[in-house]
Structure 1
Amino acid sequence: MDEDVSVAPETLNIPEDDDNFDYEEIKSMKVKKPSKHRYEVVCHSNSDCDWHLMVVSIDGTSMFQESVPCEIMEDVNQRFNISISYHQAWRAKMYVLQLLRGTPESLFNLLPIYCHNLKLANSGTVTEIALDGLGRFDMLFVALSCSIRSFLGHMRPLLIMDSVHLKGPYVGTMFLAVGMDGNNGIVPITIGVEKIESGPSWTWFLRKLRQYIGDMPNLTFITDRAASIDLAIQTVFSSAHHGLCCPHLIQNLRLNSTKEKSKRWMFWEACKVYRLSDFEATMDLMWQSLPIAAQFLEEVGYARWARSHFLDCVTVQ
């Protein structure tokens, strides 16, 4: 059965002086025969309207891929024998995405409702939205109750943290803290969204986290070498151990030549061995073959990345 989709004109964010779009033609649409592998939107009732949008799954899977402007240009040319510019194709794609997803402004306005419903559906879930001095969105913290209970009751006291930059007109940074279960599977514990990645934003995120996990004994954090994270951990969890992510660390060794890169196994060997004697034997080889890298790792501190020097509280995989 067809599904009606009503779209308000302001959702499209189309300039009022744009004469190329007719609001009456596009503000009311319907989904035509949706399935797991095909999704098509057509005009609601106007039989003279030929506008439609269709996406097909990738290779028969349940994944759908958005068309890029170059593909849109080619499709329009093949179907209508009309040549459009890259900018026109890009604008058309942005209008359609706003139809389907809404504008960023409308989604930000729905954030308090989303957090409220999240707590209703998951009893014990914690959400907090921080505003700046002008009452605008500044930071978000979310911790699902099931994740907090699992971490406190059934997982090793290890948190792996990182951040990723968000795309869109308002950009921002997403913070993520995950744990590891008994099968070394990744379990999300908390997420946050901040305007920028900085010491104060990481400190706010970790202070919210500490309110719900407390000062756990033998707590260990694994992160990259970002100074902002290091400062926040020292400020909020001063008694916790702060280890470094080895995949990030090996990128800082600056092994440029093919010969140097072929000896990266020494780092991984030194990282993973349990016995101190094995670690020292591997590091002796590194001092002979890669003295600059060996000196850098010594300055970083063996206890921050080597399993043989790590605290007994956790096992780093």
Structure 2
Amino acid sequence: MTLQRVKLLFNGRWDENSQYHDFRDCDAYIPSNSSFQQFVEYIQGKLFPSGELTISRLIMYWIGSSNSNLISIVEDKYILWLMLMLPDSPEIDLCVVVDHVSSVAQNSQNTLYLNNESTNIDQSFKHPAGNNEIVDSQDFDVFQSGIPIRVGLPFSSKSVLKKAIYFLALKNSFELTTTRSNKTSFEIHCKDMSCGWYLRASVYRGGGVWIVQKFIDNHKCCIDIVKDGHRQATSWIVAECTKGTSESSYIGLPPFSTALIENNPGTYTTQEFDDEGRFKYYFIALAASIDAWKFCFPIMSVDGACLKNNFMGTLFSACTLEGNSQIVPLAFVVVNYENDASWSWFFRNLKAIFGDSNDHVIMSDGHKSIAKGVSSVYDFAEHELCAFICIKTLLRTISHVQL
């Protein structure tokens, strides 16, 4: 029979913040396959063998954590969960608080274990939305500002857990550093090592569910550590944040443009609709790209790529090279169709922002609409074909010709 060490806290007091103070503690070794009733009876015999006091409530409690949502132990599944969690808590920060009443109260209820109601107690392993037991990716659609993380909260995978943590960091503008990340455990803390913010989670043994074991949500770092550069804003997180339907993406373009210009002064955007109010073109050039143009070679490379969303369309782009021969993106356009009209509209906006001069060269493949657009819009800029594309086309053409 395998025994599991369980740290018991008792004879203490609760404060208004769900913190347990002035308690006594002892270790109990309980069979890991115990049922709920066996678990209660063992603790009763361990702490109150004479029967003068009776257990009224057992509560899972993490020492050093906020414990804003405590979990009351009320049936077998909680004992199973506890026995799975404890081996992964080597510091014994996961404890069981034993609330008790006098034998008179016990006799009046005629039960060994009183399931008292409390506003601070969670009666099940529910996630913040309250409709499932495990937090999954779709829950971010409900909690758009982020999942409220707490100790004991289960996540369907490690990636969902990390997403919740990174969303929290982005929302509150602080940076995190991962200290441990493997197949069974994940630890992360504030970038400022003197700050107490800390989270540890581990995976269920033999399963893919991740549980938050310890969470200290208390920042004490200095102001220069609280960053708005968003180190956690990786391409993966940005992609997660921008998920949505094709319809919502197009409908959201006007407020997106407004927010972009407010946060990036000097950014240029414009949009065009057809006679029936349907989307035609959308143009965007960031302020950083506009400012960088004066330090780059006066050569623009333009190209188009097919979009594969529900509405199809084409993405136009323009880029150049800076002094260190690094690519600098200049502008992007989404159009409904790639034709003479859409390319001309693109070039008119490019000319309005980046100008037109004798030194200006626009380089592209051999698409006829590009050549027509450049000749109809620009007065001085020259249009040239990309040598690489020309050679590639030539080789493909003569590959079957025997010389």
Matched, 1:255 2:398: yes
Q: Is the 8 A contact 1:33 1:39 kept in 2?
A: no
2: CA distance, partners of 1:117 / 1:252: 43
Residue by residue over 1:92-123, the C-alpha shift from the partner in whole angstroms, topping out at 9 and shown as x without a partner, is xxxxx999822211221111111111101110
Residue by residue over 1:115-153, the C-alpha shift from the partner in whole angstroms, topping out at 9 and shown as x without a partner, is 1111011101110010111111110011111211210x2
Q: Is the 8 A contact 1:122 1:144 kept in 2?
A: yes
SS at 1:230 equivalent: helix
- Cα separation, partners in 2 of 1:131 and 1:34, compared to 1, 3 Å: farther
2: CA distance, partners of 1:5 / 1:230: 56
State the AA in 1 paired with 2:366: R
SS at 2:270 equivalent: strand
Match of 2:160 in 1: 39
2: CA distance, partners of 1:218 / 1:104: 40
Q: Which structure is higher in helix share?
A: 1
Q: Is the 8 A contact 2:356 2:379 kept in 1?
A: no
* C-alpha deviation, 1:256, in angstroms: 1.3
Match of 1:224 in 2: 365
* TM-score using structure 2 length: 0.42
Structure 2 alignment gaps of length 5 or more: 1-65, 67-125, 132-138, 148-152, 163-180, 184-238
2:316 to 155, 175, 190: 175
Q: Is the 8 A contact 2:343 2:370 kept in 1?
A: yes
Q: Is the 8 A contact 1:130 1:140 kept in 2?
A: yes
Residue by residue over 1:8-40, the C-alpha shift from the partner in whole angstroms, topping out at 9 and shown as x without a partner, is xxxxxxxxxxxxxxxxx9986896767996226
* TM-score using structure 1 length: 0.52
Matched, 1:149 2:291: yes
Q: How many pairs were matched up? A: 190
Q: Is the 8 A contact 1:127 1:142 kept in 2?
A: yes
Matched, 1:193 2:193: no
Give aligned-pair identity as a percent. 30
SS at 2:398 equivalent: coil
Residue by residue over 1:59-117, the C-alpha shift from the partner in whole angstroms, topping out at 9 and shown as x without a partner, is 9xxxxxxxxxxxxxxxxxxxxxxxxxxxxxxxxxxxxx999822211221111111111
1:107 to 239, 249, 268: 249
* C-alpha deviation, 1:216, in angstroms: 2.5
SS at 1:179 equivalent: strand
* C-alpha deviation, 1:244, in angstroms: 1.1
Q: Which structure is higher in strand share?
A: 2
2: CA distance, partners of 1:124 / 1:99: 24
- Cα separation, partners in 2 of 1:213 and 1:122, compared to 1, 3 Å: same
Q: Is the 8 A contact 2:357 2:380 kept in 1?
A: no
SS at 1:242 equivalent: strand
Matched, 1:123 2:244: no
Structure 1 alignment gaps of length 5 or more: 8-24, 42-56, 60-96, 261-289, 291-317
Match of 2:353 in 1: 212
Match of 2:36 in 1: none
Instruction: Report matched runs for 1:297-312 at 5 Å.
Output: none
State the AA in 2 paired with 1:247: F
Q: Is the 8 A contact 1:139 1:194 kept in 2?
A: yes
State the AA in 2 paired with 1:192: V
- Superposition CA RMSD, Å: 3.9
Larger Rg: 2
Matched, 1:233 2:354: no
* C-alpha deviation, 1:4, in angstroms: 5.3
Matched, 1:159 2:310: no
1: CA distance, partners of 2:286 / 2:274: 25
1: CA distance, partners of 2:367 / 2:265: 34
